[in-house]
Amino acid sequence: MTTLTVAKALNAGLRRALAAEPKALLYGEDIGKLGGVFRVTEGLQAEFGPDRVVDSPLAESGLLGTAVGLAARGYRPVVEIQFDGFVYPAFDQLVSQVSRLRFRTAGRISLPLVLRIPYGGGIGAIEHHSESPEAYFAHTPGLKVVTCATPEDAYWMIQQAIADDDPVVFLEPKRRYHDKGEVDIEQQSASTSLYSARIVKPGSHATLIAYGPMVRTCVEAALVAADEGIDLEVIDLRSLSPLDEATIIASVKRTGRAVVVHEAVRTLGMGAEIAARIQEHCLYDLEAPVLRVTGYDLPYPPSRVEEGYLPDLDRILDAVDRSLNG
């Protein structure tokens, strides 16, 4: 086992994918010599050359448009968007072209591309650098949307995404880039499907459902709750589209209570979809309404006050208390 940060695990996963798949290439702004804003691609251009790790012009629309052509011709491009808020110039290509082409051509044309997006807040960044746009993509048929929360998942999930024949939006929780964990880089293949959820901590009193940056926060909340005799189960969704509905439903049927946690705004966020599915399948098992702990319905605030915007232990534990007493 090797101890890596999430950023270094992504780097190692990309390196292994580039070595294993000659048609894979990386493409993005400042990802070559600089290694990207967060240094996730550091050293890869020196190892694989400027034709495999390409420094692109400053044009997100052009980035994704180029990737469409590359993927249609059999390449496996991995496009980096520097920050979450910069993806919108490429939104038309993503939802109008990338998501539809395989369906439009009855499967004759596949687009095996990966769009890497660092997302979420908590790093004291300026406007357009701390957003959580996942619901836009999960709402779009034809796109697969995944997000890692640990170095182990970062290492394997990026390789699985590159190997997938469908377009994958790969969301990287930037506030967790420096979190450390053990990774078995000698293992031959991933032990978990890219589209399966994972029970991080078993429990019996209520289920916390989270993904990306909020998984660690929910685990911390569960540890605090345990000191008060409350046994919380924590689920890391890992995949937002498709959703591993079976794992969610089985957990809530056991615990009878569910709290969904995410950084993105509340209205029409992932929590709303998850709550609806739980109500459909677990109505007679629920002991309390499904609750949501989310960002607020307003533009991401200035960095000085972002901690008041982001879900934290207090807000999560308050929701747990309301669920247990409901």
| Residue 46 CA, distance from chain mean position | 28
Strand partners, 25: 77
**Residue indicated by tokens 């920050």:** 83
Instruction: Kindly report whether the peptide bond that precedes residue 242 is cis, defined as omega within 30 degrees of 0.
Output: yes
Contacts of 80 (CB under 8 A, 6+ apart): 26, 27, 28, 29, 31, 36, 40, 41, 116
CATH 3.40.50.920, applies to 198-324: yes
**Catalytic positions, written as ranges:** 129
Q: How far is CA 106 from CA 69, 165, 168, 228, in A?
A: 18, 14, 19, 55
| Cβ-contact 157, 205 below 8 angstroms | no
Per-residue pLDDT 10s for the chain (326 aa) are: 899 999 999 999 999 999 999 999 999 999 999 999 999 999 999 999 999 999 999 999 999 999 999 999 999 999 999 999 999 999 999 999 999 999 999 999 999 999 999 999 999 998 899 999 999 999 999 999 999 999 999 999 999 999 999 999 999 999 999 999 999 998 888 889 999 999 999 999 999 999 999 999 999 999 999 999 999 999 999 999 999 999 999 999 999 999 999 999 999 999 999 999 999 999 999 999 999 999 999 999 999 999 999 999 999 999 999 999 97
| Cβ-contact 47, 17 below 8 angstroms | no
DSSP code of residue 129: S
Domain range list for the chain: 2-183, 198-324
Q: How far is it, in rounded angstroms, from Cα 283 to Cα 280?
A: 6
Is it true that 2-183 and 198-324 share their CATH fold?
Answer: yes
| Cβ-contact 24, 78 below 8 angstroms | yes
Among the listed residues 43, 57, 60, 51, the one whose alpha carbon sits nearest the alpha carbon of residue 26: 51
CATH fold for the domain made of 2-183: Rossmann fold (3.40.50)
